[in-house]
A and B are shown apart, each in its own frame.
Chain A
């Protein structure tokens, strides 16, 4: 079982009530995109799922309650996490960044290097000296090394040049074929390409759930995403 069920999730940070009763379901073997304007609580939701932001309510992973489980145990249960802003270890080499992420007996370096061959040529380079796109590859690669039941990915194409967006998007599309994924992403073209479900958040709550077709057809969804016209 690799589904994820979030019920009545509340998170308060420094006195601000950021998540105000979030409810949604991430079905098994499907890609679910969490959308919304900046500051509505998308990243906070992902961090709460990963145990990085303490919250109240219920988060069930494969039927098991994880709301009070520590982060490293959540990851060991099979939730792989790619954080916003990469958060690679800049003083470590690419190889060290990847080996730190190894959990499985046989980490899938073949998959990682087939998706991101550029990393293979930079194993000895300090990650802090990589370009933003290469750092994002390292961040995604860390999650792909292990057989995760769910991938939780936060804005993987944020701040990347268009060419790198395509490269990262292709990698995610490849992985999406055989994974359960919860992804926060502003690039709606990528969302339409890989997601089967969309969840729209506004002001700390889920305001819409449906399929990706609603991104074009539903005016309410467009307004919640702050988009006036259609998406390409």
Chain B
């Protein structure tokens, strides 16, 4: 029972990280039809920003410095996403192949720049000491960092859903995911919604980057690429354009991955691919998918 609980909570924690990567990716594709291969770069930039804050600005890690690192990572990644949208994507709307190529290019450039600057080796992310502790639930000893991932993802999920539900820009985004040309035909500059979604997506990925650095025991220029693959899987399974779909799919993938890794000895990735194939064959639009036309 203790093993089951440990795997379950670790799976939920992993799912929380997948959600942070996938939510922005999903909204960006759902609203704008942009297949953003540079999304992993947002994550990496967030992680390196957090690392810089935690080593150069506040070299003695505390809870507050870690929170500052997360927020700074999110903001810098969000601003980078916004800049990319304004300078590159803005000129390529409805040119999907060009968008894919240019975002691949941005991802390669960011990886190369960071590798040139910081080197390719992973660097340890300093965290407060209590991150290393564990809590006992029943007979299970659960590392405390899992709860941090879950808590942060829950806060961001709530914030995203609140923005989407209760603000005008959220209303425009929800309508735009369904039919962006009709949003324009109501006199609304849908490009403002595009920029907002890029910032939100970049912010979530940046925060995710800082947490992934803790989960993976290091920050590396290559981390974005590997996590992006899982991000895409979550988006496809959850459905393009749906934040809630991404959350559900992220949990499904994270938990299944962990259980399969334990009970099927390392077959977690294989089982995740089976889930992806099953969803593509039976419900290609994903669990809660909706894509703008």
Contacts and interface: CB of A to CB of B under 8 A. Distances in A.
Chain A interface mostly helix, strand, loop or mixed?
Answer: loop
B269 to A, nearest CB: 34
B178 A91 contact: yes
Interface string B155-197: 0000000000000000110110011011111111110000000
Contacts of A75: 184-187
Contacts of B181: 52, 71
A87 B182 CA distance: 7
A92 B174 contact: yes
B184 A72 contact: yes
Given A96-B171, A99-B171, A87 B188 contact: no
Nearest to A139: B182
A132 B126 CA distance: 59
Contacts of A83: 182, 185
Given A72-B188, A72-B190, A100 B183 contact: yes
Contacts of A100: 171-172, 175, 183, 186, 188
Contacts of B184: 51-52, 70-72, 75
Contacts of B39: none
A131 B119 CA distance: 61
A2 to B, nearest CB: 16
B290 interface: yes
A103 interface: yes
A147 to B, nearest CB: 12
B179 A89 contact: yes
A71 B174 contact: no
A81 B185 contact: yes
A87 B176 CA distance: 12
Interface residues of B, number: 17
A50 interface: yes
A101 B187 CA distance: 8
Contact of B175 (A51, A81, A89): A89
A139 to B, nearest CB: 9
Contacts of B182: 83, 87, 89
A208 to B, nearest CB: 29
A169 B62 CA distance: 68
Contact of A92 (B171, B185, B187, B188): B171
A166 interface: no
Contacts of A71: 181, 184-185
A100 B167 CA distance: 11
A205 interface: no
A142 interface: yes
Contacts of A92: 171, 174-175, 178
Contacts of B172: 100
A76 interface: yes
Interface in A145-177: 146
A219 interface: no
Contacts of B175: 89, 92, 96, 100
Contacts of A91: 174, 178, 290
Given A96-B171, A99-B171, A90 B186 contact: no
Nearest to A91: B178
Contact of A142 (B178, B179, B186, B290): B186
A103 B174 contact: no
A146 B290 CA distance: 29
Interface in B69-127: none
* Listed residue (A83, A100, A103) with the most chain B CB atoms within 10 angstroms of its CB: A100
Contacts of B171: 92, 96, 99-100
Interface string A78-94: 00010100010111100
Interface string A182-206: 0000000000000000000000000
Interface in A87-125: 87, 89-92, 96, 99-101, 103
A75 B186 CA distance: 7
Contacts of B183: 100
A70 B184 CA distance: 8
Contacts of B187: 72, 75-76, 101, 103, 146
Interface in A45-84: 50-52, 70-72, 75-76, 81, 83
Given A81-B185, A100-B175, 7 more contacts: A52-B185, A75-B184, A75-B185, A87-B185, A90-B178, A99-B171, A100-B171
Q: Which 5 A-B pairs have the closest CB atoms?
A: A75-B187, A71-B184, A87-B182, A89-B175, A72-B184
5 contacts: A71-B184, A72-B189, A96-B171, A96-B175, A100-B175
Interface of B: 171-172, 174-175, 178-179, 181-190, 290
